[in-house]
Each structure stands twice: as structure tokens, then as C-alpha cells.
Amino acid sequence: MNSMLNRSQQKTICSQLGNVKLQLLYKASIHGFTGAAFHKRCVNCCPTVSVGYNASGYVFGGYTKQPFSQSGQYVHDDQAFLFTFSGEKLCKYSVTDPAYAVRMISGSGPYFGEALVLVHGNKAVVYSSPGNYYNFSAAEMHGNDLKLTECEVYEVEEIPEFEKPWRPMVWKNEKRTELMDSITLYRPMISSVSQVRVLLIGPVGAGKSSFFNSINSVFIGHVSNQAIAGSSTTSLTTKFRTYSVKAGRGGKPLPIILCDTMGLEENTGAGLDIDDIISILKGHLPDSYQFNPSAPLHPEASGYRKSPGLKDEIHCVVYVTDACKVSIMPTKLELKLEAIRRKVNSMGIPQLILLTKVDEACSFVSQDVTNIYKSGYIEEIMQEVSARLGVPMSCVVPVKNYSKEFELDQNCDILLLTAVIQMLRAADSYFDELSDRDQRRKTTLKPENSKD
């Protein structure tokens, strides 16, 4: 059976319920718009999400943790709620009297109190009576269109939390020290480059600036907020900034530069321009360049590098993505990222995905960040973002940035430092390829009669 509830809608509903997924049990167009067909497929199943669809385009329904039966009685459920979608947003209406949350009627489909019934009286219709144990607006819920084009019921299944991590990780202070030393002592394999340049690209609010602040915090020993970061609908970063992390307060710069950009936005003429990204990749853009979404950088602009060297170019591109928003990424934004990825691919620059806010996406991780590679939910998110952005899952690196904390946490540090190590390794692969390419070119240009 194919679900009418799209992946984004499923993820939005699941976000209300914890680390879960939905399994389709009943589809009225296949099994029948009757109470008998519904109960045959769904009796004693719980928890469930029931969804109705009408010709006006409304998607609405309800959740209950109680199993369905044909007892005719009301059933108590203090977690039951009704919902409707307004675009991608979920409007939720909690039960007002839990004792009357759900009623089990043999001749009808999902029956929520006396407020909402899908497949009412063995017909493809909705019974709707706001205020009877659920308060909602009928116009908002279903647009007063009471004829069903489809009804689906999904069982809510827990996503497993693995006993053993599916990606090994050492959570010890010695590991933290080892990672910090590896970063401090790293040297690019090409002598003309002293620092690896990593470009951070991502939607507004994904956590690009916060990632720099977090890495900086690890090395200076306390939470720092050097780069402007926060919550906004438009980008807080309006300039191209290059941040060099130092090995402790007043220490030497580390061999990595994090390049922060204006946030990507889905609309044309808003956010970071793709042509500016190309200029950044090639090393043309000067530090502190003021972005202008309506006009990309011009070669005659002040500070424009007309002949950049390898040290000015980008050596690794990192797509910064909010774990809470992977499944609801707007199509236009996804297309922008795809266009960028194609351009980066054509230039041979390695790419990683930095998955942020993993603690907000998964309560299991929120309890303890060391659960990150035991969480089936985080694994699913990583698989989804890998497929959406066309980057191998081995190149997806989850992190928890410092955003509200006063003190550092060893385990958060290990995740953050591991991400930096992956960036340096990716840059090494790039330098390796450049060296091989240069060697092949020299071999090709070598005169036939020359002697070794």
C-alpha cells in the first residue's frame, strides 16, 4: 500500500510523539469505507494515527494511544489529540476531557469523542462537532468539506534504541586530548597551504556560526560567542567571514580556517547567491565581503582576488543541516543545495554534512549525548539527509553545538573535534588528488626522448 501522507507530514506528526515511525494498517480506498473493514485491520492496534483526506485538499485526523475495539464504550486517553495541516505546519488540538477521548463504535471508523469521526456510519463521510471533548475550528480542520476521498490509519512504532552503537566512538577525556593534539599538530601536505579552508553552507539558523563558536570554545576552554549566532528568519551573517581558531587563549592559529557565509534561503534574490559561492570556492572573495543577494560579486569590486592561489581556495565544503528540519526541507531550498553540490562536484572539492541540533531532534540523545550512535532515530535522519543531499552517510557527521550552556562538556567536545578531524581528512584527500593530477600532467608533458 502506498501512503497518501507524505514523508514530511509523517515526520511532523512523529515529532509530536517521540522516536517513532508510522506503519500503514488501513486504507479505505483499498479495504472499504466501512466500520467492519476498519476494525478488521486495526482492532487492538495501538497507538495509532488516523488521517482523513477530502477533495478540498485538507489533511486532518487524530492520535490515540488506546487500542481500537467494538465495545461501544468511551475510553480514557489523556494523550489523545486531533490535528490538521496548514501547509507544512501542524495545528494540534488536545483532548479537553480525557475520559471521553475515544469511543469504540462497530459501524464507524476512527471515533474521537463526539467531536470527529472518520468513515461515519459506514460511509465515506466525516462527522464533525467541535467542542465535544475537543475544541477546534471546523473551517480550519477540514474546510467544512465532510466528504472523504481517503482515510488511512497508521500504527505508531517505536524506533529501536540499540544496545551497541552502530558507529563506534570512544567517550573518554584521553580521546578528547588525542583529537585536540591531532588538530593542533596537523599540517597540510602541500607546502603552499598553511591552513585548510572549510566553507560552511546551510539554511538560515542551521548553526554555521554556532559551530565555529563551539570549536573555538573547546580550544579556549570556555563557551565563546565570537561569531554572531542566534534565531532569525533571515540570515544573521551578512558578510563573508573567515575564522581562524587559536590553540588556547593567545595561542597560535590552528591549521584550519572556517569560512562562514550568509544563510541559504529558498526564495530567489534572498540569502546567499550561488554565483557568490562559486567565487568563494575559487578564492576570489575577500574576508568581510558584504553579501548582496540581488547582485553577485563583480570582478571589479574592491578586494576581489583576480589571481587567487591554492591557499585562498576552498579545500572542503560542509553542508550544515538542522536535524529537526531534514524531513521538512523546502523543495526550492533542496534544489538550491543540489545546484551547489553539482558545482562543487565538478570542481572535485570534497563534501561533508554537519548534522546539528541532534539533541533537539532526539530525546534519547538529549538525555545523554553518548547515545547518539545508539539512536535508531538519528540513524534514520542521517540516512535521509544523505539521500537528500547526495552525500555518502560516511560523510555525515552529527554534532551538538554550544548554544545555551555556560560550561563545556567532554562528550560534546569529542563530537565537535571529530567533525574537525573529518574535515581535515577530507582536505587531505583533495590535496592528494591535486598532487596526483599534477604528477599526471607532468608525465604527459614530458618529452618522449627525455631520460629519467
Tens digit of each residue's pLDDT (9 = 90 or more) over 162-198:
878 999 999 999 999 999 999 999 999 898 999 999 9
Answer yes or no: is 122 within a domain. Answer: yes
Answer yes or no: is 448 within a domain. Answer: no
Answer yes or no: is 118 within a domain. Answer: yes
Q: What's the average model confidence in pLDDT over 111-115?
A: 93
**Percentage with pLDDT > 90 across the chain:** 61
Q: What does the pLDDT read at residue 101? A: 95
Out of 227-241, 254-268, 290-304, 438-452, the most confident range is 254-268
Owner of C-alpha cell 541540533: 357
Distance CA 11, CA 5 (A): 10
Answer yes or no: is 164 within a domain. Answer: no
355: CATH: 3.40.50.300
Closest C-alpha to 412, from 393, 395, 424, 399: 399
Let me know whether 228 and 360 are in one domain.
Answer: yes
Let me know whether 273 and 388 are in one domain.
Answer: yes
pLDDT tens figures, 22-53: 999 999 999 999 999 999 999 889 999 999 99
Let me know whether 259 and 405 are in one domain.
Answer: yes
Distance CA 53, CA 107 (A): 20
Report which residue type is found at 228: I
Q: What does the pLDDT read at residue 231? A: 45
Answer yes or no: is 166 within a domain. Answer: no
Answer yes or no: pTM beyond 0.75: no
Let me know whether 153 and 295 are in one domain.
Answer: no
pLDDT tops 60 at residue 154: yes
Task: State the total domains in the chain.
Answer: 2
Let me know whether 28 and 87 are in one domain.
Answer: yes
Q: What's the average model confidence in pLDDT over 221-237?
A: 61
**Parallel, antiparallel or unpaired: strands 253-260 and 196-201:** parallel
pLDDT band at residue 295 using 50, 70 and 90 as cut-offs:
low
Let me know whether 128 and 236 are in one domain.
Answer: no
Q: Cell numbers at residue 368, please? A: 545523554
Let me know whether 181 and 138 are in one domain.
Answer: no
Q: What's the average model confidence in pLDDT over 419-440?
A: 90
Q: Which long-range contacts (CB under 8 A, 24 or more apart) does 117-121 make?
A: 118/50, 118/52, 118/61, 118/148, 118/151, 119/28, 119/33, 119/34, 119/35, 119/38, 119/148, 119/151
Let me know whether 274 and 152 are in one domain.
Answer: no
Domain range holding 27?
Answer: 7-158
pLDDT tens figures, 117-142: 999 999 999 999 999 999 999 999 99
Let me know whether 136 and 183 are in one domain.
Answer: no
- Given a contact cutoff of 8 angstroms between Cβ atoms, the answer to whether 263 and 235 are in contact is yes
- The CA-based angle 283-224-412, given to 5 degrees, is 90
Q: What's the average model confidence in pLDDT over 338-343?
A: 91
**Residue that terminates a domain, selected from 100, 132, 158:** 158
Q: What does the pLDDT read at residue 445? A: 64
**Residue that terminates a domain, selected from 128, 158, 188:** 158
**Residue that terminates a domain, selected from 112, 129, 158:** 158
Residues sharing a CB contact under 8 Å with residue 251, sequence separation 6 or more, in sequence order: 219
CA distances from 207 to 227, 315, 323, 382 (A): 11, 20, 11, 17
pLDDT band at residue 219 using 50, 70 and 90 as cut-offs:
very high
Let me know whether 91 and 56 are in one domain.
Answer: yes
Let me know whether 148 and 271 are in one domain.
Answer: no
Q: What does the pLDDT read at residue 446? A: 62
Q: What's the average model confidence in pLDDT over 82-99?
A: 94
Residues sharing a CB contact under 8 Å with residue 8, sequence separation 6 or more, in sequence order: 88, 327, 328
Answer yes or no: is 142 within a domain. Answer: yes
Answer yes or no: is 97 within a domain. Answer: yes
Answer yes or no: is 452 within a domain. Answer: no
pLDDT band at residue 428 using 50, 70 and 90 as cut-offs:
very high
Let me know whether 84 and 53 are in one domain.
Answer: yes
